[in-house]
Amino acid sequence: MAGITSRFVGRIGTRLPMTLGPLLTTAALVWISRISVHSSYIGGLLGPVLLIAASMGMTFVPLTLTAVSGVRRHEQGLASALLNTGQQVGGSLGLAILVTVATTVTRGQPHVVKAVAVTNGYGAAFRVGAGLALLAFLIALLSIRSGSERTAEAPAMTPTPSYEELAA
């Protein structure tokens, strides 16, 4: 999906995939949160996992383009590094939160069969993840402007001077 999104983003802009991606992630996480101890891989997991994979591809390509667009050429490396660092820290923090939710819910059910308690814990974590994805959708919806608006309002870029120009 990342490859497909990268081809279309030039024509449709970044707003549509950046809002649709988290919305589809929300739906997939709600769907997967309904798993039970009797769910099969094909019937219970495959659909939501494929939807999450597609929605992540729809989200990260335009996110990267939006984060580094409008940045002066000599600052693009810094912008890219900040984006990558933010993604790594955010992913780690998000995983820590979801594992804590799953563990807390699982341990809070001592009189339930362990497989059911673990499944309930994962379901709770997926619901919290869905809430976070919904928050990402709302942020994207409210903060990302369409491509034509961004281009019209973007500051004029000045090219990075060459070594010869700096030396003169």
* 0.85 surpassed by pTM: no
70: alpha, beta or left? (left if phi > 0; alpha if psi -120 to 50): left
pLDDT score at 119 = 95
pLDDT score at 35 = 93
Query: b/e map of 88-121 (b: 16 or more CB within 10 Å)?
Result: eeeeeeeeeebeebbeebbeeeeeeeeeebbbbb
In this structure, is the dihedral angle defined by the CA atoms of residues 80, 83, 87 and 90, taken in order, positive or negative?
positive
Mean pLDDT by 10 residues, the chain (168 residues): 88 91 97 94 93 94 86 89 94 96 95 94 97 95 67 43 49
Residue keyed to tokens 């802009």: 13
pLDDT score at 106 = 96
User: CA-to-CA distance for 114 and 38, rounded, in angstroms?
Assistant: 14
pLDDT score at 150 = 43
User: CA-to-CA distance for 40 and 42, rounded, in angstroms?
Assistant: 6
pLDDT score at 23 = 97
Q: How many CB atoms lie within 10 A of CB 152?
A: 9
Domains of the chain from N-terminus onward: 2-150 (1.20.1250.20)
pLDDT score at 166 = 46
